[in-house]
A = this chain, B = another copy of it.
Amino acid sequence: MKRRKTPAKEAVLKLLSQRQKAMSHDAIEQEIEVDANRATIYRVLNQFCDDGIVHKVVAEDGKQYFAVCMDCKGEKIPNHHFHFRCTTCDTIECLGESVHFSIPEGYRVKDVNCLLSGTCPDCT
């Protein structure tokens, strides 16, 4: 499947690139510059995720947040790093800090999801 350049994709990517932080679908839909259907936005976001352009974080509120990660430039499997969610401005950002751990025998780790939450510098 060859990808096509569309207004919806450009707008989403532009918005996500401007902000340094991860946004929920809801926030994206509100702040985006073009009109786009909910399903379209989700499809665009999921496609970006598949292509490794943006990545997805699920927060403690159970919602998905999407961001263009600064640290992992195109790498398929980026270094596992902490994410920080500000509960005041409701955004998530990537922290440089990487995650270190060791686990008991027998466990096979396929994914790492570490989310700190609180208030960010902008909201203090």
Residues of chain A whose beta carbon lies under 8 Å from any beta carbon of chain B: 58-64, 82, 84, 87, 95, 97, 99-121, 124
Contacts and interface: CB of A to CB of B under 8 A. Distances in A.
B111 A116 contact: yes
Number of copies: 2
Given A59-B58, A112-B116, A97 B101 contact: yes
Given A58-B58, A60-B113, A62-B64, A97 B102 contact: yes
B97 A124 contact: no
A105 to B, nearest CB: 7
Contacts of A112: 115-117
A48 B23 CA distance: 32
A106 B118 contact: no
A113 B92 CA distance: 13
A110 B97 contact: no
Contact of A84 (B82, B103, B119, B120): B103
Given A58-B59, A58-B60, A62-B63, A111 B107 contact: no
